[in-house]
Chains A and B, each alone.
Chain A
Amino acid sequence: MLSDRTTALLSSIATYLLLGFVSFLSVFPFLWMAIGATNTSIDVINGKPTFGSALMTNITGFFTQVDVPLVFWNTAKIAIVSTILTLAISSLAGYGFEMFRSRVRERIYQFMLLTLFIPFAALMIPLFIIMGRAGLINTHIAVMLPVIASAFMIFYFRQSTKAFPSELRDAAKVDGLKEWQIFLFIYVPVMRSTYAAAFIIVFMLSWNNYLWPLIVLQSNDTKTITLVISSLASAYYPDYGVVLVGTVIATLPTLLVFFLMQKQFVQGMLGSVK
């Protein structure tokens, strides 16, 4: 019979072993990415686990094969513009659904939530044809349009609006502010942490988006970073050192945002289920 202390000790050892093992597995690929970026393609494929001296060659290789400033600009432009529009339109709707309730709009809201279950695969063919007819293939507008109105973000903003103090709104009304003024000058500043969290999540989704850009962006000068990395890696003999430099460059912005704004990052992810 084990004493209570021994059982407690054993279970805490088991806990640390489990967490240590899972943490190692979670972090190792990041380390491998950094190591691989400094090695030649052959060394990457042969699993050389130490830092090498090919970093400059790989970086030069990446910058000669890829127009990095242009690709970065394309990706950032799409991500920033579509995030700002998504936040504006979804917060307006979330606020509207919560503050001005009516039976009809409540029905529409519930119906809208059902669209969360629609897989993108079932939309992509009609969307592709729509964009083709509108002459928008190969434009960044085509990438942004279908993602701007997000049922998920409307839901998120409606849930968050429940915490918006209604006294603020009543006071503003007494002061004679119009509804759009209340939204713009009171709601938006008060809810800035909600916006910050939403910004991070939507920005990251857009930065990392793949399938839809893959379909609509067909010429090299419009492509985003994920498309570029994917096509480098699908070459017959991919240069893995160069490819891994690309993955480092693609991952750094989101990694940075995560470490600088971890609290808002997690809040944005959780916000919708609370």
Chain B
Amino acid sequence: MAVLQAGGGVRRYYNINGWLFVAPALGLIGVFMVYPILWSLWMSFQTGKGLTTKFGGFANIIRLWNDPVFIKALSNTTIFFVIQVPIMLFLALIVAAALNNPKLWGRSFFRTAIFLPCVTSLVAYSVLFKSMFAADGVVNGALQALHIISSPIPWLTDPFWAKVLIIIAITWRWTGYNMIFYLSAMQNIDKSIYEAARIDGISARGRFLYITIPMLKPVILFTMVTSTIGTLQLFDEVYNFTEGKGGPSNETLTLSLYIYNLTFKFMPSFGYAATVSYVIVVMVALLAFLQFYATRERD
């Protein structure tokens, strides 16, 4: 009996301590994460401008379908994500594979150089890129000097090239970041596996495809999910390339920028903006699920 009571006491002591350690974090997450996300779900069923709102049911969702600006923002965001994420991750993987050679001369120099873009703030590098990609700027100058193009590319004013610029910029900023994840995972792979494969006469390419890539699967999944979430929330670059307009004529408008404009630029329509924000929530959830599903372990 005494033992049981002591046991209960220990368990209670253990449990109280457990709650005390996590309580501050849970409190803050509750107030600044869980409560707002539920509130914006509720908001997305409200219509009206400013502070006079009323319950509108699915009115906002119907409004989405008939809103050409939303469709534009959705398709731009999708284009950025579908094209940029695979290019960047592929590049990061190749660079990591090249760097994963202990005998490589100047290895730490290359690694540091390629990682360097990660230390810049999104605003600083956006502004920097805007100056480099000006019509008569250094990039067009170099491309013309190398005879790759004959006339300057209108990076900031042409619908197509404005998108290309954004893809180039994000790829510059994040390739090194993802490369570091791959490189570290490659260095954790047991060398004896490669040795055994080499003795069995499997080529370097075969070893990369059938050992490295499968062993990297969890990390590739991680980078896919984080890059997807990042690209779907694209804001800083577009805002700073286009003075907050998403131009030329909404060609680089993203969902996050549209939400910002709906809320803080015009007479705020909180309800509709919240509905657009839930489009991002649903896309993130769906794509993360798809990526987990596609890379799941098959028996």
Binding site for B on A (CB under 8 A): 15, 18-20, 22-23, 25-27, 29-30, 32-33, 36, 44-49, 89-90, 92-93, 95-97, 99-102, 105, 108, 112, 115, 117-130, 145-146, 148-149, 151, 154, 179, 183, 204, 207-208, 210-211, 215, 226, 229-230, 233-234, 240, 243-244, 246-247, 250-251, 254-255, 257-258, 262, 266, 269-270, 273
Knowing A32-B128, A244-B131, say if A26 contacts B22 (CB, 8 Å): no
Chain A residues near B164: list those with CB within 8 A: none
Knowing A125-B277, A208-B123, A244-B128, say if A119 contacts B240 (CB, 8 Å): no
Q: Does B75 contact A (CB under 8 A)?
A: no
Establish whether residues B119 and A258, one from each chain, have CB atoms under 8 Å apart when the complex forms: yes
Establish whether residues B25 and A90, one from each chain, have CB atoms under 8 Å apart when the complex forms: yes
Establish whether residues A269 and B177, one from each chain, have CB atoms under 8 Å apart when the complex forms: yes
Chain A residues near B280: list those with CB within 8 A: 119, 121-122
9 contacts between A and B (CB under 8 A): A32-B128, A49-B138, A102-B18, A119-B281, A126-B39, A128-B263, A149-B29, A247-B128, A269-B181
Knowing A226-B123, A247-B124, say if A100 contacts B21 (CB, 8 Å): yes
Binding site for A on B (CB under 8 A): 14-15, 17-22, 24-29, 32-37, 39-40, 43, 91, 94-95, 98-99, 101, 104, 109-110, 112-117, 119-125, 127-132, 134, 136-142, 172, 175-177, 180-181, 184-185, 218-219, 222, 229, 232-233, 235-236, 239-240, 243-244, 255-256, 259-260, 263-264, 270, 273-274, 277-278, 280-281, 284-285, 288
Most buried by A among B25, B26, B32, B239: B25
Establish whether residues A204 and B119, one from each chain, have CB atoms under 8 Å apart when the complex forms: yes
* CA A142 to CA B285, docked complex, whole Å: 28
Establish whether residues A123 and B37, one from each chain, have CB atoms under 8 Å apart when the complex forms: yes
* CA A146 to CA B37, docked complex, whole Å: 13
Within the complex, what minimum Cβ distance (angstroms) separates B291 from chain A? Answer: 12
